[in-house]
Amino acid sequence: MNKVIQVGLLGMGTVGTGVLKLLQKNGASIEQRVGAQIVIKKVLVRDLSKSRPLPVDAIMTTVVEDILDDPDIQIVVEVMGGEHPALEYMLKAMQNGKHVVTANKDIVAKYGRELFETAEKNQVDFQFEASVAGGIPIIRPLKQCLAANRIQEVMGIVNGTTNYMLTKMTRDKSDFASVLAEAQAKGYAEADPTADVGGWDAARKIAILASIAFNTRITLDDVYVEGITAISPQDIEYAGELGYCIKLLAIAKETPRGIDVRVHPAFLPLSHPLAPVQDVFNAIFVSGDAVGDTMFYGRGAGEMPTASAVSADIIDVARDICHNVASRILCTCFDEKPVCPVRYTETPYYVRLLVEDRPGALAAIAGAFGAQQVSLHFVIQKRKVGDCAELVLITSRVPDADLRLAINTLRGMSVVREVQNVIRVEAAIE
Amino acid sequence: MNKVIQVGLLGMGTVGTGVLKLLQKNGASIEQRVGAQIVIKKVLVRDLSKSRPLPVDAIMTTVVEDILDDPDIQIVVEVMGGEHPALEYMLKAMQNGKHVVTANKDIVAKYGRELFETAEKNQVDFQFEASVAGGIPIIRPLKQCLAANRIQEVMGIVNGTTNYMLTKMTRDKSDFASVLAEAQAKGYAEADPTADVGGWDAARKIAILASIAFNTRITLDDVYVEGITAISPQDIEYAGELGYCIKLLAIAKETPRGIDVRVHPAFLPLSHPLAPVQDVFNAIFVSGDAVGDTMFYGRGAGEMPTASAVSADIIDVARDICHNVASRILCTCFDEKPVCPVRYTETPYYVRLLVEDRPGALAAIAGAFGAQQVSLHFVIQKRKVGDCAELVLITSRVPDADLRLAINTLRGMSVVREVQNVIRVEAAIE
């Protein structure tokens, strides 16, 4: 008879329910893979009386010690969300010699170091594949499959809500507000959409990915963040005309000034592998010095895709238990690299301006850019708006600080009625 | 001071040279990851006098026993290619207690079972990430990251040469022969291109992927194979008009009749994630019951991408050595599933015919299909060719055997001057 490995589940929301379903549905083949039966022994819930989609009455508890202090439970799976008390529960579980699996990006992005140190000290596994990009394998590929590479760049579409919204805005030429309302109605966006549309969810994920890719601890505070609220159908249309799409990108690159790590909407060439990523799908593009360009694509959220990633971690830990090994791959942040301040980051920029439609206007604008050493790669006059003309321009590659100075100058010029939008251009073909 | 793990390299062609370069270039960070220094102690070569791109004189040998019988060498890396004596060397290495890493798809596709059994018996690791799709992480993602899923389908562009050729034929509207000549001139295709253009290289790779995905041993002989030699610019043009591209696909699906595993050119909807995969790039699309659709994209060949995968395996084995564990993940073929004969496989088909341009012709042709229960989804008359008309049709989803019967009937009909091409349609939106 096979060994039994017992698991305690903290939380039974969407992801926890998915994990229970999946371990049940594919339990037989998982047992064959692992050489042991994986059993959920107890589930921590807040409310015992709430009706549940699965028959779990017999294993529910509201007392966390029933899990953390149960010597038979070898793996604790945290899928309750939030920072506290989830963090304390995980630390306690490790101190009690239990391996920990989590899907909690907030905690990994903020308390990664503490969790890794505690795991190492207590010689237990700490796994968090589901914390970034749901079902898409990306943590393990970065830590193992690309381990021989010096990673140069990680660039991802890691927030399904905003990618769905930008896809909709592109397809239907509809505006931000109406697409947001629709996404909320479909359950793709929260009532308070700030975490998604403000870029904060993506920022947590790129903090985690950057830490692994560049072997230095990057936290949420290190990430420069801009959301998509200012993107208009007009910008999307002009992007298309110029051979680009607009995506909310989470980017991390190693530069001579440190790790350049940011989340913002960007023009992306239609020929880039990330450009065809539609709707709620996620994808992460990784460049390494040996492997070249790679990409990992799939569903970044949802009950079963996330359960797939959490369960893969459980299986991995169970394999470790069967082979009597732990902490085989832990923290890989063995360097301390500085973060490159956003003012030094360099990209071309798309700028959309409303200017007075009179002779000399363009010369004045070009002069304002030139004064900051910003050269213009491309300028085109688009539609008339009242007595004004809409001007679209793409700059050459410039430091963010120089661009900001030029934009400030423009804002003070009588010929410029409005600076309508400023959007970075990524992966431009130069 | 860190531990030293010594490696013996069998072969110093393109991949072997890449591995030496990479372990040297990124040796410091690899040492930090592993907690041990990885050193290539000896390299087996055929000719000591040949000039080499790296200074390896001191470690070269022509005597394989210098590696296989050296007790200090813990990992043997087979990058010599060919079936014999590479297989025997690997088996001997395992019997001598050494872990084995290989990039050899021919051997893994043909002798996988024997190698796994020998590895298990001798409690050593056996890794082969580079045998499929070069630098793209796919073996480890399937065996670990998607381990909780029942895999439903694996569909890949796994041969860079043919993908480059089809991309060129699509972009430049050029024909097979001229693109092949160009690919040969660029070094993308061999002097004898059969393994690539005949689909045999892709067939070996899908045999390996199918074995892992469906937990049953699939060998090259199980794979139905068609190459791309019959694809004409005309087919590619019509595909484009109908919203498809033509790709050489390596496909494995689980069906009620067994594992459907085949390599052939196919119409693929332009909206499919594999459709934008251009030039020599590879990608593997995997569907699982929990994760949904995923895709893994990157360079499927070349010195450094392949070295990236081989080195990742070496790192993984080295981590096992450091943690005193072996055979942690070995063969996952614990089922014995039948292979679905190609006659039962079902897809829609594209058929291009040259028919006499006279009344009743279409009715006769439709009748020939109807007699085999093949209904036509779409029929269009294209250009005139002499006194004939070119007819393009897409059938509904039908078993291969029925389609073949209908095609045989057509070939015997006086109204049909020529059956110009018959191509499967995959991932059709139905």
For residue B97, being part of any structural domain is answered with yes
* One domain, residues B378 and B408: yes
Q: Which residues of B are catalytic?
A: 205
* One domain, residues A8 and A126: yes
Q: Which two tokens stand for residue B188?
A: 């993308």
For residue B331, being part of any structural domain is answered with no
Predicted confidence (pLDDT) per residue in B385-415, tens digit: 889 999 999 999 999 999 999 999 999 999 9
The angle, 0 to 180 degrees and rounded to 10, between the axes of the packed helices A200-214 and A105-121 is: 30
Res. B16 pLDDT band, cuts 50 70 90? very high
* One domain, residues A379 and A246: no
Domain boundary among A246, A264, A299: A299
**pLDDT at residue B107, rounded to an integer:** 95
* One domain, residues B180 and B267: yes
Residue A168's CATH number = 3.30.360.10
110-129 of A, contacting B, C-beta below 8 A: 129
Residue type, B214: F
Cα–Cα separations (whole angstroms), residue A175 to A170, A183, A326, B392: 9, 12, 51, 41
**Cis amide prior to B71 (ω within 30 degrees):** no
Q: Which two tokens stand for residue B321?
A: 């050595």
* One domain, residues A47 and A88: yes
Domain boundary among A291, A322, A353: A322
Looking at the complex, report in whole angstroms how far the Cα of residue A274 sits from the nearest Cα belonging to chain B: 10
* One domain, residues B101 and B239: no
Domains in chain A: how many in total? 3
Contacts of A305 in chain B (CB under 8 A): 290-292
Predicted confidence (pLDDT) per residue in B413-427, tens digit: 999 999 999 999 999
For residue A365, being part of any structural domain is answered with yes
**pLDDT at residue A393, rounded to an integer:** 96
All residues at 6 or more sequence positions from A45 whose CB lies less than 8 Å from its CB, including other chains: A11, A12, A60, A61, A62
- What is the predicted ipTM? 0.96
**pLDDT at residue B1, rounded to an integer:** 58
198-227 of B, contacting A, C-beta below 8 A: 215
Would the CB atoms of B294 and A298 count as touching at under 8 Å?
yes
For residue B430, is pLDDT > 80? no
For residue B24, is pLDDT > 70? yes
* A391 and A355 Cβ atoms separated by less than 8 Å: yes
For residue A339, being part of any structural domain is answered with no
* A332 and A209 Cβ atoms separated by less than 8 Å: no
Nearest to B138 by CA among B87, B224, B219, B206: B206
Would the CB atoms of B291 and A135 count as touching at under 8 Å?
yes
For residue B258, being part of any structural domain is answered with yes
* One domain, residues B179 and B282: yes
Residue type, A161: T
**pLDDT at residue B336, rounded to an integer:** 95
Q: Give SS3 for A13.
A: coil
For residue B42, being part of any structural domain is answered with yes
Residue B384's CATH number = 3.30.70.260
* One domain, residues B167 and B261: yes
Distance CA A251, CA A248 (A): 10
Q: Report the chain B residue with the minimal C-alpha distance to residue A24.
A: B148
23-62 of A, contacting B, C-beta below 8 A: 23, 25-26, 29-30, 32-33
* One domain, residues B160 and B272: yes
Of the candidates A129, A281, A307, which has its C-beta nearest B290's C-beta?
A307
**pLDDT at residue A15, rounded to an integer:** 95
* One domain, residues A143 and A280: yes
Sign of CA dihedral A271, A275, A278, A284: positive
For residue B430, being part of any structural domain is answered with no
* One domain, residues B361 and B381: yes
* One domain, residues B146 and B243: yes
Domain that holds residue A95: 3-133+303-322
For residue B333, being part of any structural domain is answered with no
Residue B262 belongs to what H/E stretch? strand B258-269
Q: Which two tokens stand for residue B358?
A: 């006279």
Of the candidates A137, A299, A325, which has its C-beta nearest B145's C-beta?
A137
Predicted confidence (pLDDT) per residue in B226-235, tens digit: 999 999 999 9
Looking at the complex, report in whole angstroms how far the Cα of residue A231 sits from the nearest Cα belonging to chain B: 25
Residue A110's CATH number = 3.40.50.720
* Blockwise average pLDDT, block size 10, chain A, 430 residues: 91 96 96 95 94 88 98 98 97 98 95 95 97 95 96 97 97 96 91 96 97 96 97 97 97 97 98 96 98 97 96 97 90 94 97 93 93 92 90 96 96 96 89
Predicted confidence (pLDDT) per residue in B105-155, tens digit: 999 999 999 999 999 999 999 999 999 999 999 999 999 999 999 999 999
